[in-house]
Amino acid sequence: MAPGLLDLVNLTTWAVCAVIKLPQLVAVLQAGSAWGLSVGSLLLELAGFLVFLRYQIYYGYPLETYLEYPIIIAQDVILLFCIMHFSGKAKRALFYAVVFWVGWYMLTLQKWIIDLAMNLCTFVSAASKLVQLQHLWQTKDSGQASALTWGMSAYTCATRIITTVMTTNDLAVLIRFIIMLILNIWVTATILHYSKTKKTD
């Protein structure tokens, strides 16, 4: 892949990530409800993102390979607070913030900790998608879950598979993006299925 094309892929990925959670935020705020969304899923997703970001920083990978993660994390935090607010669990926000802050610093106390965390990160992120899928299957209702947000997540995973191969070629990172791509597509398809079912009822 030519350097110019790689830059273009990175640029489109950053542009998508700048607004990736906005459709979900808008749906939640307009409805004044977090129905169809799982707090557990979002907490696991956030943990996975934080570990991944810390891993990239620790190993000094090029900024362009993970620049979107601080943006996604900030949006996830806002979305999580909105969901907790509408679910009546806003008081737990401080507890989660402290846990994540402590975890951020503990990750790099030893090299083996960050390496193990990165390997577990894939399972944690996959679990976040599976928790959301389970929630959708149980309720049989997509509620305020945004297919556009999940679709954009699938797109960013696809582009990151390409950029990882072209830059760091880190196998752990590559496996993570492949698994996340499959699961993001699955969640998107499930949301669309239940949205269609709801409209035809």
What residue ranges do the domains of the chain occupy?
20-27+36-200
pTM: 0.79
Q: Under a CB-based contact definition with an 8 Å cutoff, are residues 118 and 55 in contact?
A: yes
Give the list of residues 6+ apart from residue 116 with CB closer than 8 angstroms, or none: none
Q: Under a CB-based contact definition with an 8 Å cutoff, are residues 39 and 84 in contact?
A: yes
Name the more confident of 80 and 35. 80
Q: Determine the pLDDT at residue 200.
A: 61
Q: Determine the pLDDT at residue 137.
A: 92
pLDDT band (50, 70, 90) for residue 198: low
- The answer, yes or no, to whether residue 197 has pLDDT greater than 80, is no
Alpha-carbon span 82 to 97, nearest angstrom: 14
pLDDT tens-digit series, residues 88-119: 888 888 899 999 999 999 999 999 999 999 88
Q: Determine the pLDDT at residue 193.
A: 92
pLDDT band (50, 70, 90) for residue 157: very high
Give the list of residues 6+ apart from residue 115 with CB closer than 8 angstroms, or none: none
Alpha-carbon span 74 to 48, nearest angstrom: 14
Alpha-carbon span 104 to 4, nearest angstrom: 34
**Percentage of the chain exceeding pLDDT 90:** 39
Mean pLDDT along residues 8-17: 83
